[in-house]
Structure 1
């Protein structure tokens, strides 16, 4: 016989498990938490802890049907959709850095030099890998990971479990925000890209004035050197633009967590 004090333990555990679906789905797609080198056990523990906090901020009832039923399926799908939308909003702002890195690498002639990205497990250009590391450090420096966790917890009040459905206007906002991803990536790459375009104009002028000059032997070292110097000089400007992009991602995640 179960002791009276433990009579509702099973139902409470089910509530915790259902509450951890939303943060668990967000951590799969969000930067830092969703990195390939982060153990799954860490994500499960964090999702469970967030679920504990969420159950103290809002109360909700589980579907009364069996585990495999239409109401339970809709409940789980709604939680997964909201969690993925919150994490994906921040991921969009974070991915603009990767676009900037690929743009700068191709302009410098380093598009062939790739490294394994621990965030995604895919190969990325070396400049893109450098900017991804910089963006990760900036995200942690501005407490972006804590803002994301706070957004997930606050979303339980605006979108209670069982009623977590995103409207068409909010989905359209997500699509439009995804369009700004490319604009922010080009804006991050603009300082270095502008300097490299000027170098290309100079090299083209030299090619016309000195046809005997071997541009492959001179142009590539000059372009790489100028790109590295420009990257070092414009690092503060690039960092400010990355923070702006991350802030846009966090704002969009908060908009999704607040139900639009």
Structure 2
């Protein structure tokens, strides 16, 4: 008998309690939280991973369903899951930061499209880089590593003592600066070539004031940007792999220790 005299199978209550952490992680993590993923698929995937977690570690849910201890335990489980997914989401913001820097220099900041991850309007170049990062994330089995982190979190942070220390929360917040750092480094090859082009255009404007810079500078910036993306894409792809590995390592270190 649990709570207010409600007769509920203990295994079902344990499953629902386990799904809180797993569902929160999938709700915040990239790929799993995409708008294109149907809701029933998310629920089934959450239940499957929760069953796997129940078999991997002993999980004891709160004795009462409606109680202050239960509410605090559910909040702690949701906090751990959201922290695991949020760190990966921070890393996935790096392509959007890079696209803003590149798009402004190229003159493509006005070109927007619907992002399949969030369903919101984002720069077209940012959407392209985000899709590329998502494919690399799946190629290196990042989604499986995330599932493994969620399952192992029940051993390292068992339910009932899963509250994150203030120091860990501070480190997770400070990790938000990694999105700007990674975005800057990701845009560095293209940004450097566009900076050199702007210097050349500035020198032309000083030597020939009568020259129409808008008729020359904007097409030249667009052409140079496309050429720079073509040349620098291998290096950008390699750094995207670094971003994925750094995000997975940070999720383990900052949350699980």
Shorter-chain TM-score range: over 0.9
**Helix, strand or coil at the partner of 1:111:** coil
Distance 2:83 2:54 in 1: 21
Contact preservation (8 Å) 2:171, 2:254: no
Contact preservation (8 Å) 1:154, 1:257: no
2:190 is matched with: 192
2:61 is matched with: 62
2:119 is matched with: 121
- 1:46 aligned onto 2:14: no
CA displacement 1:204-231 (0-9 Å, x = unmatched): 1111111121111111111001000000
Distance 2:230 2:95 in 1: 16
Contact preservation (8 Å) 2:107, 2:221: yes
CA displacement 1:122-167 (0-9 Å, x = unmatched): 1111111110111011101111111111101110100112221111
Distance 2:8 2:241 in 1: 44
Contact preservation (8 Å) 1:99, 1:185: yes
How many angstroms does 1:58 deviate by?
A: 1.2
How many angstroms does 1:37 deviate by?
A: 1.2
CA displacement 1:39-79 (0-9 Å, x = unmatched): 111111111011101111111222122x2210110111011
Contact preservation (8 Å) 1:82, 1:256: no
- 1:79 aligned onto 2:77: yes
What runs of 5+ residues in structure 1 fail to find an aligned partner?
A: 1-7
Distance 2:118 2:8 in 1: 38
1:150 is matched with: 148
1:5 is matched with: none
**Helix, strand or coil at the partner of 1:80:** helix
What runs of 5+ residues in structure 2 fail to find an aligned partner?
A: 1-6
Aligned residues: 251
How many angstroms does 1:180 deviate by?
A: 1.9
TM superposition score normalised by structure 1? 0.93
How many angstroms does 1:256 deviate by?
A: 4.0
**Candidates 131, 137, 149, aligned match of 2:135:** 137
TM superposition score normalised by structure 2? 0.94
1:4 is matched with: none
Distance 2:255 2:203 in 1: 54
